[in-house]
Amino acid sequence: MIDEHTAAGTMSGKQVAEICSTIDASCHDAREIRCEKGRRWRRGPDVGSTRCYKQLHRLGKGSFGLVVKAQHRDTGQIVALKTIHARDGARRPDVGELLREACFMVACHGHPFLVGLHGVARNPDTKEYCLVMNYVGPTLHETVDRRMERHGHAFPEADVRRVMRQLLIGARAMHERRIIHRDIKPKNILIGDDDGVKICDYGVAMFTAKAELPFAQAGTPSYMAPEVLLEKPEYDERVDLWSLGCVMAELLSGQVLFERDDKMDQLRKIFDTLGVPGKRTWQGFKSTLLVQEVQQWRAQQQEAPHHDRLRELFPEEVLSKDGFHVLKGLLRCNPSKRLTAATALRSSWFKDDAINTPEADKIGGTVLARETVVSLRWVLISAWARFRQVMLSIGASALLRHKALPQSVAL
Ligand SMILES: Nc1ncnc2c1ncn2[C@@H]1O[C@H](COP(=O)(O)OP(=O)(O)OP(=O)(O)O)[C@@H](O)[C@H]1O
Ligand SMILES: [Mg+2]
């Protein structure tokens, strides 16, 4: 819906403000961080103002935007404010992009392993909007780097298992909501005070129920699944599982598993480590890239069988049999054979961890998961109903052609 608006250039300031206030209302705690002073909208929508926050320092500058740590002037609450840059020569950033990201966060709101959103705020001077998020902490990337510097080695298996369990629970929650993140990597994973991890940055996420073919190639090459690198027109949530496999390897070794500047080189590195995909897997990619090279490699492998280089990189002293089963299952070139988040979580590697981390187990438990889905559905239905009402009230009924709510808001 938001995509349609921005593509058509039809989103007015008032509409944006209305959507922002719907987003705010859907974030349970939005009310707590509202600023009493500096309200811009006397009547109608109430969008938070960035003047309510004292900016502390810069947290990160990504390819899409700038994130700063800030403190709410009235409540003292520490948050992270994300502003996105203008792109493709545009004078102003595309507010639709920001709202789209906010909608994904609303859909996953309240999950312990996904970054929470407080709402959307507007800078009254620049007129730019920003996401107001929970401040979490350093990224996994920084944490791995620091550990390598201090100790000269990465994380032991028990720590990796605990982190992977949380990440898989987070991914499972996104996938249950039909959201593919598409850019899971250590720089998009944050570590909280309690050592719990949270996935952030829905900048290139997609909602599968509304996606049109061909799907775009999105993400960061070093963490991109082979089907994405090979420009397969259709892929599913298992691209996130591949990325999680790369993250797991990095946690164990302290190094990026498949890092090449060029995407074709990236594929060569993957096939060199895991073996060239068989004929059936290759046909499934529907790709014309690297065809001749793959044929040559396959012929070579028939003469001299390929060794499992993955096990050479992660021997039993580093990763147990059960752990390796998960790593290998995540790094399957054939997406239909790759583990899903739900199947990975059922693996015996996580059995002991469930006993040691009762909270995580409770979160992953079926009863709670079902309750979360039911309450989320309710939040989305109410958000959609409010959005529809607002659109009708401002005469934008033509934009509401999708009458049926497809189990979720049309993002
Ligand atoms: N909620 C948060 N709490 C603390 N730090 C954060 C938070 N959100 C983002 N950051 C920091 O800001 C950086 C950039 O944020 P984000 O990934 O959302 O932006 P981006 O522009 O989409 O980045 P990229 O294109 O590099 O992936 C993160 O890598 C992290 O260091
Ligand atoms: Mg990022």
The pLDDT value recorded for residue 386 is 53
Measured in angstroms, how far is the CA atom of residue 188 from the centroid of ligand 1?
A: 6
Binding-site positions for ATP read: 82
Q: Which of 183, 201, 236, 240 is catalytic?
A: 183
Fold of 140-369: Transferase(Phosphotransferase); domain 1 (1.10.510)
Task: For ligand 1, atom 11, name the residue with the nearest CA.
Answer: 60
The yes-or-no answer on residue 272 being catalytic is no
Q: How large a percentage of the chain has pLDDT more than 90?
A: 54
Nearest ligand, measured from the Cα of 139: 1
- Pocket test of ligand 1: the residue of 79, 143, 188 to mutate, having most ligand atoms within 8 Å of its CB, is 188
| C-beta atoms surrounding 362 within 10 Å | 12
As a CATH number, domain 2-135+374-394 is 3.30.200.20
47 backbone dihedrals φ, ψ, rounded to 5°:
-100, 135
The predicted model scores a pTM of 0.82
Identical fold, 2-135+374-394 and 140-369 = no
Contacts 24+ apart (CB under 8 A), 32-41: 32/75, 32/77, 33/72, 33/75, 33/77, 33/79, 33/118, 33/119, 33/132, 35/72, 35/73, 35/74, 36/74, 38/124, 40/122, 40/124, 41/17
Asked whether the predicted pLDDT for residue 374 surpasses 60, the reply is no
Asked whether the predicted pLDDT for residue 205 surpasses 60, the reply is yes
Domain limits of the chain?
2-135+374-394, 140-369
Condensed to tens digits (0 to 9), the pLDDT of residues 102-149 reads 999 999 988 999 999 999 999 998 888 999 999 998 999 999 999 999
Nearest ligand, measured from the Cα of 62: 1
Higher confidence at residue 328 or residue 395?
328
